[in-house]
Structure 1
Amino acid sequence: MTDRPTDLSPPSPPKPARRSGLTARKFALMASVAAGLGLAAYGFSPPTDKADLFTTPAHAQVNNDVSKVAQPIGFADIVERVKPSVISVKVRMKDKVVAGDDDSPFQPGSPMERFFRRFGGPDGLPPGMHGRRGHGIVTGQGSGFFISADGYAVTNNHVVDDADKVEVTTDGGKTYTAKVIGTDPRTDIALIKVEGGSNFPFAKLSDDKARIGDWVLAVGNPFGLGGTVTSGIVSAIGRDIGNGPYDDFIQIDAPVNKGNSGGPAFNMKGDVIGVNTAIYSPSGGSVGIAFSIPANTVKNVVAQLKDKGSVSRGWIGVQIQPVTADIADSLGLKKTEGALVAEPQADSPAAKAGIQSGDVITQVNGATVKDARELARTIGGLAPGTSIKLNVLHKGTDKVINLTLGILPNTAEAKADLYGDDHGPSHGDDVPRLGMTVAPAGSVAGAGTEGVVVVDVDPKSAAADRGFKEGDVILEVGGKDVSNSADVREAIKAARADHKNSILMRVRTGGTARFVAVPIAKG
């Protein structure tokens, strides 16, 4: 198995042009000037007293004792304190195929492979990555860090997933066997426990929320070559990289390479603000865009993994979608906030509590719901059996609904294709100015009895622009059930009379329902 940070892309950067002697001298002079002013890439020296700076003769300044010259602020003290808590995680799997081997920098004949073959690396691979390519015993490398003195450590799920054997090597060079306590694929967190040994140096998960612009240190063990430290800042928070409904990543620009997965990102207090899990990279190397799982998420997941080896999440049982500007206009909302309920699932807590399609969930326990993704994270972060209060906008009226959370099912629901290749007869009635033709569901084979079926779409129409396609079933228009084209026309006419720019339709595609806001022409 190989460690696999997310590789989301193009060509290597051009080699820097060689400086001429004159340019090099100018560069050295500029560096000397910068050093004299006390500037550094990572901070500024204490301010120099203005009187001393401008009244002391130049020769006296030059002849001053070097020990008295202000030095740039660095990270050595923090690194010295936190680096011992970071470990290398090596896994072994039997009868596997190396995943993503084509992306490895150690391909036969590559510069890295030639380097390690020349200097004694087995099979042209660095220490800890030997093994036959292809089928057979496969080893992979990642990073992690201790979170307690008795040997509990955090790494990525994708580092230890399907591992037959796990070994960790400390910063001091000692190797121990470790046991996988539990994993959570949804957040890519794993908890392991070192067998044997005690009094390990450990890191503290931060209680502070990361802020954009904060300094950050990424520590890891890429390719098993030994601990490395890189620095940067927090570039963004709350990043969604399409990994799942619980995406809430911290984006950092500290270089993070393959092999660093599972390693910690430290703040200037020496606390862990995140676990490095993914990179954006055209070539497999760092380009200054890396993603870390926030410490508060790690705390919640690790506590459950330690307690029972798995993670249980709260569940209300609704299909939700964002409130776009068009949807907000259709519902008469002033802000594009909240989560729109496309459909409550049968026998779910939401359905039993009376939540209906078209409702907008605006608050959970008094906290504002910014969007659908935030609702999913909030509910998923609560334990099953928890009683919660939801503020819901129902047909323009605010309601408060109390319900008890269920347990999020471990398997995704199947989405059946209702129509196959045969949609039945293609007759139907045109819906004016929307560019589609509909027919009662009962007249189309396999479409059921509710709503109207889209049997034709003009590719240059508003309907096509909103993603309608043949076979979609329109269940509601403007909050009213429809069973024929006349119902659709009446709903559109009412929306125009109410001075709406768009109308909301509830549409079912396969086994999934969603709301679509369609612009309506005037007149």
Structure 2
Amino acid sequence: MRSAQFIVNTLVIPVLVGLVVAFAVLLWAPQLVTPTAPQAPAVTYAPIAGIGPMPEQTTAAPGSSMAHMGPVSYADAVDRAAPAVVNIFTRKVVRRKTHPLFDDPFFQRFFRTNPEPNERMQSSLGSGVIMSPDGYVLTNNHVIHGADQIVVALHDGREVNATVVGTDPEADLAVLKIELENLPQIQVAHDSQLRIGDVVLAIGNPFGVGQTVTLGIVSATGRNQLGLNTYEDYIQTDAAINPGNSGGALINAYGELVGLNTAIFSKSGGSQGIGFAIPAEVASRTLTDIATHGTTIRGWLGIEVQESTPQLLTALSLPQALTGLIVTGIYPDGPADQAKLAIGDILVRINNQDAANARSAMNQIAALRPGDGIDLEFIRAGQKMQTHAIAGQRKAHQQ
């Protein structure tokens, strides 16, 4: 009897107490026994333009619903930029080419009862961007080239005739002037360092349907050698750009101008995800030059160059790994001539930037102002040398 009591006191009662405690824990504090998942790194969400403010330091684990949150609207960005994007309609008188005899009323009696008119009106459309409250509008030169009348239609419904202040055909840019009060003005992005993958929106008047916004990303920067213009330094984007978008705005997610829509690569005539825009800083500089001087001011070095090739390097007994621009011509008394550069020299650096691409080097020099210094590193007779040139002012068709 004593041993049985001992067993109950020492074994059964503690077990029963333990079961009761375990049941209470499971019932009222299950988190104490639930395995803890590994702590996932926190994801911080910053406010994004066009969405409105988001809670500061909001965190979520990858895989949660918040981890997939992104921009739900770019309406604020569009609201900032759209009022300054205009539709441009041009009219041009086209004269029908006929033999002079057909213009003679006597001979017209023998050929047709109702002679066709020798002139007809040809219309085209495009887009533009209001750059200042005093009415300066930027667009592409090909939008207004040869036009006899240019009509600008604003986002608020107003229409007005525009005059051409100046054009820059080599960069496909044109500056117009309109006379209206209370004009909106687009904001130009101060940070010109676009990155591949940045979100951009194209605003314009495709096919004349009215102002339209399309979304994409920056696909590439610095595109050249496309054969479109003399000066090419394009932003490439997959935002849909169609006929009529030319001259319209390419904006960032903050509603700031980053480019001027210019061209598309297409086999069908419509958007195929490869569009090109002139960088905003290039367009803005052209606007300032034309408004101030009546023409675009570009730097000039006064040389003709050819990119190095293995065959040329072999002929000149130079290392195959050498990259540079071989000087093939020098304008007498030009900046390069005055800096004692010679035919056969190989430019390897211009203002501390590698000189491997002729088109990029031309754009780099053209971006300078007359009087700016140009540090040149080159190879002559196998020896690396340096010289300093002073940029001149480039005239049409000069290098």
Normalised TM-score (structure 1): 0.56
Residues of 1 paired with 2:385 and 2:118: CA distance? 59
Q: Does 1:395 align with 2:377?
A: no
SS of equivalent residue, structure 2 residue 235: strand
- Describe the superposition over 1:64-112 as per-residue Cα deviations: whole angstroms up to 9, x where unpaired: xxxxx97862212211221111100112222358xxxxxxxxxxxxxxx
Residues of 2 paired with 1:338 and 1:295: CA distance? 29
Residues of 1 paired with 2:322 and 2:95: CA distance? 48
Given that residues 146 and 203 in structure 1 are in contact (C-alpha distance below 8 angstroms), is that contact kept between their aligned partners in structure 2? Answer: no
2:270 aligned residue (266, 274, 285) = 285
The corresponding residue for 2:74 is 75
Q: Offset at 1:340?
A: 1.4
The corresponding residue for 1:191 is 175
Q: How does 1:17-416 map to 2 (within 5 A)?
A: 73-95=72-94, 135-240=119-224, 241-328=226-313, 330-333=316-319, 335-411=321-397
Q: Gaps (5+ residues) in structure 2?
A: 1-49, 97-115
- Describe the superposition over 1:252-309 as per-residue Cα deviations: whole angstroms up to 9, x where unpaired: 0011010000011111122111111110111211111101111221122111011112
Question: Which one-letter code corresponds to 1:139 in the other structure?
Answer: S
| Distance change (3 Å), C-alpha of 1:184 and 1:205 | farther
Alignment size in residue pairs: 322
Q: Gaps (5+ residues) in structure 1?
A: 1-41, 54-68, 98-131, 414-523
Given that residues 141 and 259 in structure 1 are in contact (C-alpha distance below 8 angstroms), is that contact kept between their aligned partners in structure 2? Answer: yes
| Distance change (3 Å), C-alpha of 1:96 and 1:276 | farther
| Higher Rg | 2
Question: Which one-letter code corresponds to 1:187 in the other structure?
Answer: A
Residues of 1 paired with 2:343 and 2:61: CA distance? 68
- Describe the superposition over 1:409-429 as per-residue Cα deviations: whole angstroms up to 9, x where unpaired: 32579xxxxxxxxxxxxxxxx
Residues of 2 paired with 1:190 and 1:335: CA distance? 42
- Describe the superposition over 1:385-437 as per-residue Cα deviations: whole angstroms up to 9, x where unpaired: 33422222111222222222333232579xxxxxxxxxxxxxxxxxxxxxxxx
Given that residues 205 and 299 in structure 1 are in contact (C-alpha distance below 8 angstroms), is that contact kept between their aligned partners in structure 2? Answer: no
Residues of 1 paired with 2:384 and 2:160: CA distance? 58
Normalised TM-score (structure 2): 0.73
Residues of 2 paired with 1:198 and 1:408: CA distance? 37
The corresponding residue for 1:122 is none
SS of equivalent residue, structure 2 residue 260: strand
Q: Which 10-residue stretch deviates more, 400-409 or 388-397?
A: 400-409
Residues of 1 paired with 2:244 and 2:62: CA distance? 48
The corresponding residue for 1:442 is none
Question: Which one-letter code corresponds to 2:147 in the other structure?
Answer: A
| Distance change (3 Å), C-alpha of 1:303 and 1:70 | closer
Residues of 2 paired with 1:228 and 1:133: CA distance? 36
- Describe the superposition over 1:143-171 as per-residue Cα deviations: whole angstroms up to 9, x where unpaired: 01111122211110111122222211111
Question: Which one-letter code corresponds to 2:142 in the other structure?
Answer: H
Q: CA RMSD in A?
A: 3.0
Given that residues 209 and 273 in structure 1 are in contact (C-alpha distance below 8 angstroms), is that contact kept between their aligned partners in structure 2? Answer: no
Question: Which one-letter code corresponds to 1:155 in the other structure?
Answer: T
Given that residues 145 and 263 in structure 1 are in contact (C-alpha distance below 8 angstroms), is that contact kept between their aligned partners in structure 2? Answer: yes
Residues of 1 paired with 2:296 and 2:63: CA distance? 62
- Describe the superposition over 1:351-406 as per-residue Cα deviations: whole angstroms up to 9, x where unpaired: 33321122112222333324222211111111233342222211122222222233
Residues of 2 paired with 1:389 and 1:83: CA distance? 43
